Structure 1
Amino acid sequence: MELGDDYELILDYFEETYIGCIRRNNIRRKPLFSIAFWNMYNRTTQASIRTNNSAEAYHRRIGSVFQCAHPTLWVFLQKLLDEEHAVHANILQIKAGQPQKQNKNIRFEQRLLNVISNPHADILAQINAIAYNISL
């Protein structure tokens, strides 16, 4: 597939950064970021975390708990104690058998796992299937 000169710079960037350029002797040089570093296949098949969304969500939660940018020392300590009590209560509820909140991305994760576990013979069809699942 020929993309033309307009795409050469972006393709060169991705090749140098993530794949590695081909040297004169047809051997690829090491990319800036190794494939093992950025590839999410193993994390997806093992149902591991692929993003830092949980850390960002907790950061938002702490921001809503404090409700101000610069609390006094005493307000800060009291809010930390309140948050510690809330987390402790959640842990006790989970240990007592209360079901956890369902993650709204469970269906997406299952569809994505299905697409990569049963790959299409045609790479373009595979990419389209992944893109369709992401766009849902």
Structure 2
Amino acid sequence: MNKRKSQANYRKSTIIANSLTKLPRTSGHSLPSKDKLTRQKNYQRSKLLGDAKSAPSYRQEIIIPEQLQVTYSGNNFLLIDTGKDDPDRMIILANEENIRLPVIGDPSKRHVPNFQIKYWNVYKRVWKDLPRTIKNIEAWHKTLSQDIECHPTFLKLLKHLRREKRFTEHLFDEIKVGKVFGRPKKEIKKIKTSKFFWKVTIEMI
């Protein structure tokens, strides 16, 4: 219970209830009262946050705790923070590895396509087995909304993005060592059919 007291992603009642399930009923009377456990939990969370507000009213009030300024891998997570004295304060959460990755739609990397736009837009993605829709992005947005609840605070969002960053690093590491992520059989069949029709279309042009 002491370990989970400082985790703001869990409700007080949830932490207490989960902890009680691991204890026999005969030992329940020796535990502190629920109110005392709640006060202890609030104290642990306040120690973790320090001067940081969980739900700041405006950007100048934002204080990011030191432990949230680095990723779980130990890299810098707070790339840019122009400071609370800046009326147009800007906070960018990223690291050097993110900056080196190619940006979708970067105008400096555009070139004249080999095919007309109406063919090239999907044709290139089909042959490279890339997603042809943004359903994967929509799925990530759905997961995000489920994980951080309906009314997230700034620190809850920051903690979620920090965990998401760690998961993304894990996926990059798997790709670097050559792991191939499989696709459902229905999707593979659809891709093969699309490639066949594209090949026939190009031969007819």
TM-score between both structures, scaled by the size of structure 2: 0.34
Q: Which has the higher contact order (CA 8 A, sep 6+)?
A: 2
